[in-house]
């Protein structure tokens, strides 16, 4: 008899498929089932990739310890998608499969269900023959009213009789019924107490009833006639859905053009045809508004999946999806693995956003994985954005994606008028410490006098970006990373934004002992402080990672803005996209070009997208909007194109730059980072991998190695090299060959296919 063997993926970075024997005492698990397997000296939970595989020619196989699932835990499509991710992004299959599982799935998650004790009143027939207080007379029915003793029992009985399905003990306690009273009714034979599984509702965590008070991206009321552009786009989208075949559509619409209404109508069409809908958003902050709109339109068969929910909420909703109780799933990038069957439509909103790229293994791009899932499902994939990524725009230009455009806002509202303020002139007139220009101060004051709202964007948090010694010019740097520390005045600490190291500011310079430590640069905390000082009566709120750490905080802030309870909203890029606040008539951008100084080929693209998106927040109501953009480089093509809100002009210049410099999307790129205990060691190891990669025939240009721009993070030194070429598979295979030759370097090496950042 052939050996009973299975191929298993385990959650260990970079580890490939492992083969195990299935003892005769255990059932043969199916593909997608979880199993417990030995790995070294420990036991881990893995997922079956292939069942009934042939045993290897040599070596001793270990036995599976336990088969957790009798049926597939992960659906076939999700397993196939995860394995594609592992192969394309040069990751271990176990890493990718783990991304597709809910929290607590590693240990078998039966204990993760929430069980609540419930008291239930017995029917008239159930207590007959019961004989409380030890009376053992057989078949001696007693009148139920004689079994109640005292007012407390009567109150409890009334409550329970009104709810035949049962009442949780916690709810009874809130109504004044103690556990002792319920237990006395149980002993009298009138009540049963049992545990019930109660699902945790994620909508309670994202703004509750307030979620429907604000809308997203120019949403139109249900039933309103579409604009001619919307109607034209919808006809093409409708046709694609009706064919029932895979197609990818790039929906490019200026901010406020009504893309979301098209999403809703298209979803309705798909649901009426018996298929389901998956919607991706780049950030948790965008989930409440969009989910609220879908929930209002389609009811409780809409759910959400993202890391901002509790493990229990994610667990419960994942199982609802798996059981087929959900028709629409809305979530961040990991929701692309949701166990949703019969998917007919996948929407990737703000498809250009960098948050779709995962920075930990597997380093997948959620937008691209969504397209692959659409192909597997035979679904229509809609990529929506006002500022499409260069990759999506290039695919549309090449005819691989259908391209639909919305050039006008709904209700014929004009785009915001944009003014560029040359900060070099401000510095010349008012000194180098100017943070907010006179033009922006005047505009803020005007909006406050009118009772209108304003937003100020600075994509950098903290109060000051540098703390330095006036005597020797030494700066305070992170002891674990090669970056300066940012001063946060509220916390009275300097903090590293890479490893989260924090300390107080010393009384003297650690280098020369000088006693005069100064601050330079500024972030959102400083902007908030200056605006408060200038307008002490204004209602000002700041949104950045420091202020929204608490669960539900972002939803509360955005709801307050929508209700008109905030005059000025200060924030990082979190406030720049997706939100529709009709009373915001002014957007100010401080240091618009802060991202242009980064050594990264995507710097101009990120700057253009961020500026265009935030400018689009102004003037979405009845009053025309204005944007004031402060910059040191008013003639840079990304800044000028954003001010004109001219995507075509930006794309033409940027794609020309990418083509001439051989950068994506015109060519494939892989970034390989090697970590070491010293920079010299990291460079030596990276050089060894470069040599082996070239020997393997990468069919690519290999650049490097060199120190990474951030040469040390979390006490690890970093060297990097790049592969540029048209053949990604050959490049990946060459790197895998090199790592196979040097297995000691595998755990020290990060392989990032299609990197978003090269730092």
The ranges assigned to domains in the chain are 5-111, 115-197, 204-412, 417-462+522-658, 467-518, 668-753
- Secondary structure class of 497 (helix, strand, coil): coil
Answer CATH for 668-753 from 3.20.20.70, 3.30.70.600, 3.40.1710.10, 1.10.620.20: 3.30.70.600
Whether pLDDT at 147 is above 90:
no
Supply the mean pLDDT for the chain. 88
CA distance 201 to 317: 8
Distance of CA 447 to the CA centre of its chain: 33
C-alpha dihedral over 262, 266, 271, 277, to 10 degrees?
-80
Q: Say what the alpha-carbon torsion angle 718, 719, 725, 730 is, to the nearest 10 degrees.
A: -80
Using DSSP's 3-state secondary structure scheme, residue 109 falls into: helix
Per-residue pLDDT of 666-680, as tens digits, reads 999 999 999 999 999
Name the residue with higher pLDDT: 563 or 239: 239
Mean local confidence (pLDDT), 685-708: 94
The separation between CA 696 and the C-alpha centre of its own chain, rounded to angstroms, equals 37
Whether the predicted pLDDT of 638 surpasses 80? yes
Q: Indicate the pLDDT class of residue 174, thresholds 50, 70 and 90.
A: confident
At 579, the pLDDT band (50, 70, 90 cuts) reads: confident
For residue 642, pLDDT beyond 90: yes
**Range 122-144 average pLDDT:** 48
User: Does the structure show a pLDDT above 80 at 517?
Assistant: yes
Query: pLDDT grade, residue 214 (50/70/90)?
Result: very low
The C-alpha torsion from 640 through 646 and 651 to 656, rounded to 10°, is -50
Determine the average pLDDT of the residues in 717-731. Answer: 95
Q: 385 or 310, which is more confident?
A: 385
Q: Which residue has better confidence, 287 or 608?
A: 608
**What pLDDT does 219 receive?**
43
Confidence at 198, pLDDT banded by 50, 70, 90: low
Query: Is 599 a residue whose pLDDT tops 70?
Result: yes
Q: Please, what CATH class does the domain formed by 204-412 belong to? A: alpha beta
* Dihedral angle, C-alpha 29, 31, 32, 37, nearest 10 °: 50
Mean pLDDT of all residues in 146-155: 77
- Determine the average pLDDT of the residues in 356-371: 95
Confidence of residue 186 (pLDDT cuts 50, 70, 90): confident
Report the C-alpha gap between 41 and 449 in whole angstroms.
70
In the block, tokens 């057989």 appear at: 138
What pLDDT does residue 144 have?
A: 53
pLDDT computed for residue 216 by the predictor? 38
Q: 307 or 350: which carries more pLDDT confidence? A: 350
Q: Mention every residue, 6+ apart, whose C-beta is less than 8 A from residue 495.
A: 462, 485, 486, 488, 501, 502
Q: Give mean pLDDT, residues 191-195.
A: 86
Copy the structure tokens of residue 559. 């709801």
Give dist(CA 426, CA 29) in Å, integer.
70
For the cut 70, the answer to whether the pLDDT of residue 484 exceeds it is: yes
Would you state the structure tokens that stand for residue 672, as one six-digit string?
């390989």
pTM: 0.87
pLDDT of 118 over the 90 cut: no
Q: Yes or no: say if 567 and 537 are a contact pair by the CB < 8 Å rule.
A: no
Tell me: pLDDT of 142 over 50. no
In 606-748, DSSP assigns E strands to 626-631, 668-676, 701-713, 716-725
The number of C-alpha atoms within 13 Å of 52 and in the hemisphere containing its C-beta is: 5
Return the structure tokens found at 97.
């499969």
pLDDT at 151: 82
Beta-carbon contacts of 736 under 8 Å, excluding residues fewer than 6 positions away, are 90
**Out of 121-130, 206-215, 742-751, least confident range:** 206-215
- Arithmetic mean of pLDDT, 420-434: 90
Would you tell me the crossing angle of helices 728-741 and 679-695 to the nearest 10 degrees?
Answer: 120
Residues 628-664, buried b or exposed e (16+ Cβ, 10 A)?
bbbbbbbebbbbbbbbebebeebbeebbeebeeeebb
User: What separation in angstroms does the CA of 44 have from each of 14, 65, 108?
Assistant: 15, 10, 11
Give the highest mean pLDDT range of 3-12, 293-302, 391-400, 517-526: 391-400
pLDDT band at 113 (very low <50, low <70, confident <90, very high): low
Residues with Cβ < 8 Å from 416, sequence gap 6 or more?
Answer: 587, 615, 616, 618, 619, 624, 625, 626, 627
Q: What percent of the chain has pLDDT over 70?
A: 92
Cα–Cα separations (whole angstroms), residue 196 to 78, 121, 230: 30, 15, 47
Least confident of 114-123, 224-233, 250-259: 114-123
The pLDDT value given to residue 217: 40
Query: What is the CATH code of the structural domain delimited by 5-111?
Result: 3.40.1440.60
Residue 108: predicted pLDDT? 57
Sign of the torsion formed by the C-alpha atoms of 702, 706, 712 and 717: positive
Please state which of the ranges 178-187, 199-208, 311-320, 711-720 shows the lowest mean pLDDT. 199-208
Is pLDDT at 138 greater than 50 in this prediction?
A: no
Structure confidence at residue 505 (pLDDT): 87
Specify the pLDDT at position 207. Answer: 45
- pLDDT band at residue 132, thresholds of 50, 70 and 90? very low
Strand order, beta sheet including 191-197: 167-168, 115-121, 191-197
Q: Which CATH number fits domain 417-462+522-658: 3.30.360.10, 3.30.70.360, 3.40.50.300, 2.60.40.1190?
A: 3.40.50.300
What is the per-residue pLDDT for 723? 96
Q: What's the pLDDT score for residue 204?
A: 62
Q: Is pLDDT at 602 greater than 80 in this prediction?
A: yes
Burial class of residue 422 (count of CB atoms within 10 Å of its CB; 0-12, 13-18, 19+): middle
What's the pLDDT at 726?
92
Proportion of the chain above pLDDT 90, given as a percent: 59
Confidence class of residue 146 from pLDDT cuts 50, 70 and 90? Answer: low
pLDDT tens for each residue of 291-303: 889 999 998 899 9
Q: What is the pLDDT of residue 112?
A: 64
Identical topology for domains 204-412 and 417-462+522-658: yes
Assess contact for 223 and 375: CB atoms under 8 A: no
Mean pLDDT, to the nearest integer, of 232-258? Answer: 94
| Beta strands 18-21 and 5-9, pairing class | antiparallel
Taking a C-beta distance cutoff of 8 angstroms, is the pair 485, 616 a contact?
no
């Amino acid at each position: 008899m052939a050996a009973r063997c299975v191929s298993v993926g385990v959650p260990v970075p970079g580890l490939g498929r492992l083969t195990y024997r299935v003892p005769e005492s255990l059932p043969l698990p199916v593909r997608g089932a979880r199993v417990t397997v030995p790995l070294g000296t420990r036991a881990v939970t893995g997922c079956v990739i292939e069942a009934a595989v042939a045993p290897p020619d040599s070596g001793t196989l270990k036995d599976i310890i336990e088969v957790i699932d009798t049926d597939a835990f992960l659906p076939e499509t999700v397993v196939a998608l995860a394995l594609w991710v592992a192969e394309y992004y040069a990751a271990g299959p176990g890493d990718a499969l783990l991304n597709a599982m809910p929290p607590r799935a590693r240990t078998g998650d039966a204990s993760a269900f929430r069980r609540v004790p419930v008291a239930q009143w017995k029917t008239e027939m159930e207590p007959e023959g019961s004989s409380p207080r030890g009376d053992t007379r057989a078949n001696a029915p007693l009148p139920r009213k004689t079994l109640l003793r005292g007012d407390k029992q009567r109150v409890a009985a009334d409550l329970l009789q009104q709810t035949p399905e049962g009442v949780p003990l916690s709810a009874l306690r809130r109504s004044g019924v103690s556990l002792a009273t319920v237990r006395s009714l149980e002993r009298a034979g009138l009540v049963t107490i049992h545990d019930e599984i109660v699902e945790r509702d994620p909508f309670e965590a994202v703004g509750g009833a307030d979620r429907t008070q604000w809308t997203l991206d120019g949403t139109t009321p249900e039933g309103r006639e579409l604009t001619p552009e919307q109607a034209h786009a919808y006809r093409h989208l409708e046709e694609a859905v009706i064919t029932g075949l895979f197609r990818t559509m790039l929906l490019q619409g200026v901010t406020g053009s009504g893309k979301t209404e098209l999403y809703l109508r298209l979803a309705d069409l798909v649901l009426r045809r018996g298929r389901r809908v998956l919607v991706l958003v780049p950030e948790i902050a965008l989930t409440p508004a969009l989910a609220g709109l879908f929930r209002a339109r389609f009811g409780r068969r809409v759910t959400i999946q993202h890391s901002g929910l509790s493990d229990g909420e994610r667990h419960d909703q994942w199982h609802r999806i798996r059981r087929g109780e959900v028709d629409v799933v809305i979530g961040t990038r990991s929701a692309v693995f949701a166990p949703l069957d019969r998917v007919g439509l996948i929407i990737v909103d703000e498809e250009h956003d960098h948050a779709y790229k995962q920075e930990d293994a597997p380093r997948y791009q959620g937008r691209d994985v969504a397209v692959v899932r659409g192909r597997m499902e035979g679904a229509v994939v809609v990529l929506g954005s006002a500022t499409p990524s260069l990759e999506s725009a290039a695919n549309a230009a090449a005819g691989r994606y259908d391209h639909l455009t919305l050039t006008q806002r709904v209700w014929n509202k004009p785009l915001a008028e944009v003014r560029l303020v040359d900060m070099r002139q401000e510095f010349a007139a008012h000194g180098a410490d100017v943070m907010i220009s006179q033009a922006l101060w005047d505009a803020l004051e005007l909006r406050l006098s009118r009772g209108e709202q304003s937003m100020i964007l600075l994509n950098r948090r903290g109060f000051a970006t540098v703390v330095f010694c006036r005597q020797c010019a030494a700066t305070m740097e992170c002891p674990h990373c090669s970056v300066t520390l940012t001063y946060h005045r509220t916390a009275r600490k300097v903090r590293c934004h890479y490893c989260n190291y924090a300390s107080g500011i010393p009384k003297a310079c650690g280098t020369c002992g000088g006693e005069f430590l100064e601050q330079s640069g500024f972030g959102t905390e400083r902007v908030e402080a200056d605006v408060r000082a200038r307008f002490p009566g204004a209602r000002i709120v700041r949104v950045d990672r420091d202020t929204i750490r608490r669960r539900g905080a972002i939803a509360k802030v955005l709801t307050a803005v929508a209700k008109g309870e905030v005059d000025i909203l200060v924030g990082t890029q979190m406030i720049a996209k997706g939100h529709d606040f009709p009373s915001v008539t002014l957007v100010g951008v401080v240091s618009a070009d802060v991202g242009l100084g980064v050594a990264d080929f995507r710097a101009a693209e990120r700057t253009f997208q961020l500026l265009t998106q935030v400018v689009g927040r102004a003037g979405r109501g009845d009053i025309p909007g204005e944007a004031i953009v402060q910059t040191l480089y008013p003639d840079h093509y990304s800044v000028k194109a954003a001010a004109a809100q001219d995507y075509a002009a930006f794309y033409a210049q940027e794609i020309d730059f990418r083509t001439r410099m051989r950068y994506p999307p015109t060519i494939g790129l892989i970034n390989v980072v090697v970590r070491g205990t010293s920079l010299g060691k990291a460079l030596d190891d990276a050089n060894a991998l470069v040599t082996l990669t070239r020997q393997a025939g990468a069919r690519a240009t290999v650049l490097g190695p060199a120190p990474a721009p951030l040469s040390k993070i979390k006490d690890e030194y970093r060297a990097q090299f790049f592969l540029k070429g048209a053949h990604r598979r050959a490049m990946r295979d060459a790197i895998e060959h090199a790592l196979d030759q040097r297995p000691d370097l595998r755990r020290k090496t990060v392989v990032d296919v299609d990197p978003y950042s090269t730092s």
